[in-house]
Structure 1
Amino acid sequence: MEIKVDRSLCEANAVCVGFAPEVFDLDDDENLVVVSPVPDSEVERVSHAVTGCPKNALFIAG
């Protein structure tokens, strides 16, 4: 599984970090960082993060 971020929509509000902190993080400049590929153990949490994104900025690519 790979996650894509629409940077034009992402506000880096860290909702996804709350769902899957092993996959999502914010860097020092408050830009979203995504671990890729997503570990199998995190697929369910990442799916919740994608559907829970308030700006619909996250997409499952594969």
Structure 2
Amino acid sequence: MVWQRSHEMVLDVYSLVKDFPKQETYSLVDQLKRAAYSVPANIVEGCIYEGSNSCWWIWNKA
């Protein structure tokens, strides 16, 4: 399932960035976390607002 893969990507990104230097905490790390988190969040939001037909289309395209 696409959402599950995107969630795994979020966990991978969070795991990866914890080893970044502290000076990157409020720039690159935050940007990477927000970008990674937005993928599964957008999938869920699209399914909520557009209904099941849109959700099916998104999963097939991803």
TM-score by length of 2: 0.31
Give the structure, 1 or 2, with the largest relative contact order (CA under 8 Å, sep 6 or more): 1
More helix by share: 2
Bigger proportion of residues as strand: 1
Give the TM-score of the pair, scaled to structure 1.
0.31
